[in-house]
Amino acid sequence: MSWIAADWGTSRLRLWHLSAADELLDARSSDEGMGGLAPAEFEPTLRRLAAGWEATTVLTCGMAGAKQGWAEAPYRPLPCPPLGPGLTAAPAEGWTVRLIPGLSQAKPADVMRGEETAIAGWLAANPGWDGVICLPGSHSKWAEVSAGEVVSFRTFLTGELFAAIAGHTVLRHSVGGDEIDAAAFDEALSEALSRPEQLAARLFSIRAEGLLSGLPAAAARGRLSGLLIGAELAAARPWWLGREVALIGAGPLTALYARALAAQAVPTRSAESDPLTLAGLVTAKRLMEGRS
């Protein structure tokens, strides 16, 4: 029997239809993320997006298992493999729905949902791999993996801060558009890495430079991104200093992290997040069925 793999994020839903042999048959996505749904809306949303797919088993990672999601999937405490045999059932008429739990860390307090599945996909593609994984995003994650287990991780609110500052502070008048000036990014990155305590002051200087010297929007956006990513790298220095870093993500944001780390002479390996998440979901399905 074919089955459905789902990655249910806060703002996006990604579905894959797979055969009994785990071969990809079809894929669909929508903007119907957990953030816009009540618990009772998860099942009809999934049925609508998966219309025409003959499957009765659904395996889901991400925010469908959050407290406000379809059903709460309790966190698994570290250290532990990114995936385990314990899955949470979600109510669905005629479907077997299982939710993958996230991971938790007691000190410093931290949690992740969804990223553990991408990490499992990375390990499936790189057997025996040990090291540091960075997953850029609204809440970027740095995870230490050893002997097949996640032993520690740290979350940074960098992406959400960028969106909040660019959309809801005085800097919204300065950072319009999508273009990022690379030279401005590099300069701001270096400033934040060397003097992270100056972050708040340097953020306001973006507005001041726009008023006094006509700082272009692309340069302003580059400075904002460079300052925030630079502050993150300054705090995450123990994770990347003298290490190779695996970057799991997509698009321009991951490219900026690769550029920032390259400026510190840090070697990186990059991989798209969607294929790794799907590989992690396949791994979880096999664990659920006792096939691996």
pLDDT of 70-87, one tens digit each? 999 999 999 999 999 889
**Distance (Å, rounded) from C-alpha 130 to C-alpha 152?**
13
Tens-digit pLDDT profile for residues 138-147: 999 999 999 9
The whole-chain average pLDDT of the chain stands at 96
- Is 242 a member of any domain? yes
In three-state secondary structure terms, 31 is coil
CA distance 53 to 45: 14
Asked whether residue 102 falls in the same domain as residue 194, the answer is no
Identify residue 252 by its one-letter amino acid code: P
Q: How many residues does the chain have?
A: 292
User: What's the chain's Rg over C-alpha atoms?
Assistant: 20
Beta carbons of 87 and 101 less than 8 angstroms apart:
yes
Question: Which H or E run contains 278?
Answer: helix 273-288
Tokens of 142: 């740095």
Shared domain check, 99 and 174: no
Rounded Cα–Cα distance for residues 135 and 118 (Å): 9
SS3 call for 34: helix
Q: How many domains does the chain have?
A: 2
End of a domain among 54, 80, 113?
113
Do the beta carbons of residue 207 and residue 170 sit within 8 Å?
yes
Domain membership of residue 173 (yes or no) is: yes
CB atoms closer than 10 angstroms to residue 108: 9
DSSP 3-state of 279? helix
Between strands 96-99 and 88-90, the pairing is antiparallel
DSSP letter at 41 equals G
Domain span at 265: 155-271
Among the candidates 60, 82, 113, a domain finishes at 113
**CATH number reported for the structural domain that contains residue 181 in this entry:** 3.30.420.310
Quote the pLDDT of residue 292. 58
pLDDT over threshold 70, residue 187: yes
**Residue 215 is assigned to a structural domain of this protein:** yes
Q: What CATH number does residue 85 fall under?
A: 3.30.420.300
- Taking 3-state DSSP, the helix, strand and coil percentages for the chain, each rounded to the nearest 5, stand at 45, 25, 35
pLDDT in tens, 102-150: 999 999 999 999 999 999 999 999 999 999 999 999 999 999 999 999 9
Residue 56 in any domain: the answer is yes
Question: What pTM was estimated for this model as a whole?
Answer: 0.95
Output DSSP code: residue 74: P
Q: Are 273 and 119 in contact (CB under 8 A)?
A: no
Q: Is residue 88 part of a domain?
A: yes
H/E stretch holding 164: helix 158-168
The verdict on residue 77 lying in a domain is: yes
Q: What are phi and psi of 82, to 5 degrees?
A: -60, -30
Q: Is residue 82 part of a domain?
A: yes
Query: pLDDT at residue 291 above 80?
Result: no
* pLDDT at residue 192, as a whole number: 98
Is 107 within a domain? yes
Same domain, 73 and 164: no
Identify whether the C-beta of residue 34 lies closer than 8 Å to the C-beta of residue 68: yes
Write the DSSP assignment of 176-245 as a string of letters: -SS---HHHHHHHHHHHHH-GGGHHHHHHHHHHHHHHH---HHHHHHHHHHHHHHHHHHHTHHHHTTS-E
